[in-house]
């Protein structure tokens, strides 16, 4: 059997079309969703991510501004910039591109963002609301993963989902969202014993471990939905995921490619959260 490819590009495209229509309706009411992204320093990967966010904003009709700051910025100066954006009524979403320079405390920066504008879904208040099932902005990559699974037509309820990886950005929140969808969830990590035995039981397997091509077909049950979150560059320069795509494709029912799988969904969910924020801040939700 050969797995069906779940194209994040295609799913993202259809969600963006839906968002365009919502934004047109908001603009008729005089509301233009606004996203402000703070970028500190010259990290090429961060600049590339921010460019992608700018491009997506333009495509759907979100007003986007990128605030560039020197690597030498002090923590106090950065917090003052966030305070200014918190108080600006035209800004509905605030995002600080991570990682930040070593001399800045990332937690202090995340905590400074007004939770009502936390479109990245990283603030402790946002995470806490997600944990207890209250309405909140969902973190973009995990939310995108859930959308991808749903768009395969897979019923998540009652399925055994195995998440390999326990990061605060992907592993833990995606496990929580799967639980909210009534899956039975197992979280695995670098200290898990008999990893292969556990992943082999998964109806839905999320690979978010950050190790190139670690998940081979021996780890995957026949017909499983496999979502590959990893983005790793081989010495040859080729981008690959955490799964051995060719091998896993032989046994899985569905698989996301790298690139073109989870990546486009992350940015699209950021757009979705920004539109939600514009609605909530203007009392439309």
Residue 285 has pLDDT above 90, yes or no: no
247 to each of 2, 42, 180, 251, how far by Cα in Å? 10, 37, 31, 8
Residue set of the binding site for NADP(+): 165-167, 231
Query: What is the topology classification, in CATH, of domain 140-263?
Result: Rossmann fold (3.40.50)
Selecting among 117, 118, 120, 244, the annotated active-site residue is: 120
Stretch among 24-28, 48-52, 153-157 having the lowest mean pLDDT: 48-52
Tell me whether residue 120 is one of the annotated catalytic residues.
Answer: yes
Q: How many residues does the chain have?
A: 285
Residue set of the binding site: 165-167, 231
Contact 226, 255 (CB under 8 A): yes
pLDDT, residue 64, reads 97
Tell me whether residue 4 is one of the annotated catalytic residues.
Answer: no
Residue 284 has pLDDT above 70, yes or no: yes
What percent of the chain clears pLDDT 90, i.e. is strictly above it? 96
What secondary structure, in 3-state letters, does 165-221 show?
CCCCCCHHHHHHHHHHCCCEEEEECCCCCCHHHHHCCCCEEEECCCCCCCECHHHCC
Mean predicted confidence (pLDDT) in 55-73: 97
Q: Do domains 30-114 and 140-263 have the same CATH topology?
A: yes
pLDDT, residue 241, reads 97
Domain boundaries, the chain: 30-114, 140-263
Tell me whether residue 97 is one of the annotated catalytic residues.
Answer: yes
Query: What is the topology classification, in CATH, of domain 30-114?
Result: Rossmann fold (3.40.50)
Mean predicted confidence (pLDDT) in 156-168: 97
């Amino acid at each position: 059997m050969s797995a069906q490819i779940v194209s994040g590009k295609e799913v993202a495209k259809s969600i963006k079309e839906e968002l365009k229509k919502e934004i047109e309706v908001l603009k008729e009411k005089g509301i233009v969703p606004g996203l402000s992204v703070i970028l500190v320093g010259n990290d090429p990967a961060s600049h590339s991510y921010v460019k992608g966010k700018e491009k997506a904003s333009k495509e759907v009709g979100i007003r986007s501004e990128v605030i560039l700051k020197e690597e030498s910025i002090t923590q106090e100066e950065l917090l003052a910039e966030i305070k200014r954006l918190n108080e600006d009524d035209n800004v509905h979403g605030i995002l600080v591109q991570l990682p930040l320079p070593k001399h800045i405390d990332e937690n202090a920066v995340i905590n400074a963002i007004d939770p009502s504008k936390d479109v990245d879904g990283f603030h402790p208040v946002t995470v806490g609301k997600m944990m207890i099932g209250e309405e909140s902005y969902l973190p973009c990559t995990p939310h995108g993963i859930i959308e991808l699974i749903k768009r395969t037509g897979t019923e998540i309820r009652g399925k055994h989902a195995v998440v390999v990886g326990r990061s605060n950005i992907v592993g833990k929140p995606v496990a929580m969202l799967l639980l909210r969808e009534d899956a039975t969830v197992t979280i695995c990590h670098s200290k898990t014993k008999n990893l292969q035995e556990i992943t082999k039981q998964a109806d839905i397997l999320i690979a978010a471990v950050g190790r190139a091509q670690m998940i081979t077909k021996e780890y995957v049950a026949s017909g499983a939905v496999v979502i590959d979150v990893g983005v790793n560059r081989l010495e040859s320069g080729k981008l690959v995921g955490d799964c051995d795509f060719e091998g896993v494709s032989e046994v899985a029912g569905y698989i996301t490619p790298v690139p073109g799988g989870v990546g486009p969904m992350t940015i699209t969910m950021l757009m979705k959260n920004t539109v939600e924020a514009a609605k909530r801040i203007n009392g439309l939700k």
